[in-house]
C-alpha cells in the first residue's frame, strides 16, 4: 500500500508523517521542494502466531510506503494536486491546518480548514474528470474504428456516468455506480 500526505505548506504534513513513521524529519517554517519517503512495517501478532506454528525460514510483515509531499501548491500554476507521485497513491491523507501560529498566520493568513478541504476536493474532482475524459476519448476512437466489445461498451457507459457526476462537482466516492 502506498500512502501520501497532502496539504498546503505548514499544515502539519511532516508532523503527521513523523508520527506514523517514527522518524524525526525536520518540520517548521522551511520551504522545501523534496518528498520524504519511508517504508513502515506493520507488525501483526497474527503473523507472529503463524511463525510459531509453521516456523518459516523467512518472515515478511506487510508494509506501507509513506510519502510526505513538501509543496501543497505549485507556485506558478496554483494547482494543488499536480505531482505524478501523488497520482499513484493508494491512500491520500489530506492534512489541513486547524491551529493558530503567529509566524504562519502572518505569512499565510488565518487557518481556513474547510476552504482548504474544498480546494483540494475540487482539484481531485478535476483530476478524475481529466482521466475519465481521456479514457472516453480512447474508447470512442476504438469504437469508430470498429473495435467493439461488451467490456468497452460497459466501460464507456460507466465513464460517461462518472464524467457527468464530476461535471456536477460530485466526487466519485459519493456516486452510485452499482446501478
pLDDT at residue 167 in the model? 97
Q: Tell me the residue length of the chain.
A: 179
Instruction: Looking at the structure, give the CATH architecture of the domain made up of residues 112-179.
Output: Orthogonal Bundle (1.10)
pLDDT at residue 31 in the model? 60
> What are the backbone angles phi and psi of residue 36, rounded to the nearest 5°?
-85, 140
Residue 5 pLDDT class (50, 70, 90 cuts): very high
Tell me the per-residue pLDDT of 43-53, one tens digit each, with 9 for 90 and over.
Answer: 889 998 999 99
The domain spans of the chain are 1-111, 112-179
Q: Which three cell numbers stand for residue 117?
A: 478541504
* Average of per-residue pLDDT across 107-125: 87
pTM: 0.77
Distance, first Cα to last Cα, the chain: 29
Q: Which three cell numbers stand for residue 171?
A: 466526487
Q: What angle do CA 55, 61, 65 make, to 5 degrees?
A: 165
Q: Which residue has the higher pLDDT, 178 or 156?
A: 156
Residue 178 pLDDT class (50, 70, 90 cuts): confident
Query: Is residue 97 packed enough to be buried (19+ CB in 10 Å), middle (13-18) or exposed (0-12)?
Result: buried
Answer whether residue 83 shows pLDDT above 70. no
Q: Can you say whether the dihedral through the CA atoms of 17, 22, 23, 24 is positive or negative? A: positive
Answer whether residue 21 shows pLDDT above 60. yes
d(CA 93, CA 167): 24
Q: Which positions ≥6 away from 147 have C-beta within 8 Å?
A: none
pLDDT at residue 79 in the model? 61
Task: Give which of 1, 27, 17 is closest to 88, Cα–Cα.
Answer: 1
Say what percent of the chain tops pLDDT 90.
Answer: 56
Amino acid at each position: 500500500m502506498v500512502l501520501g500526505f497532502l496539504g498546503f505548506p505548514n499544515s502539519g504534513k511532516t508532523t503527521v508523517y513523523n508520527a506514523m513513521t517514527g522518524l524525526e524529519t525536520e518540520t517548521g517554517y522551511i520551504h522545501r521542494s523534496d518528498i520524504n519517503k519511508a517504508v513502515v512495517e506493520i507488525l501483526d501478532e497474527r503473523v507472529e502466531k503463524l511463525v510459531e506454528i509453521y516456523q518459516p525460514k523467512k518472515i515478511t510483515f506487510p508494509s506501507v510506503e509513506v510519502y510526505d509531499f513538501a509543496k501543497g501548491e505549485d507556485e506558478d500554476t496554483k494547482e494543488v494536486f499536480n505531482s505524478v507521485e501523488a497520482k499513484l497513491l493508494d491512500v491520500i491523507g489530506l492534512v489541513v491546518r486547524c491551529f493558530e501560529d503567529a509566524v504562519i498566520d502572518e505569512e499565510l493568513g488565518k487557518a481556513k480548514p474547510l476552504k482548504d478541504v474544498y480546494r483540494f476536493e475540487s482539484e481531485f474532482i478535476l483530476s478524475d474528470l481529466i482521466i475519465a475524459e481521456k479514457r472516453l476519448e480512447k474508447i470512442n476512437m476504438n469504437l469508430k474504428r470498429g473495435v467493439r466489445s461488451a467490456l468497452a461498451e460497459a466501460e464507456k457507459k460507466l465513464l460517461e456516468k462518472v464524467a457527468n457526476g464530476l461535471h456536477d462537482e460530485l466526487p466519485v466516492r459519493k456516486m452510485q455506480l452499482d446501478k
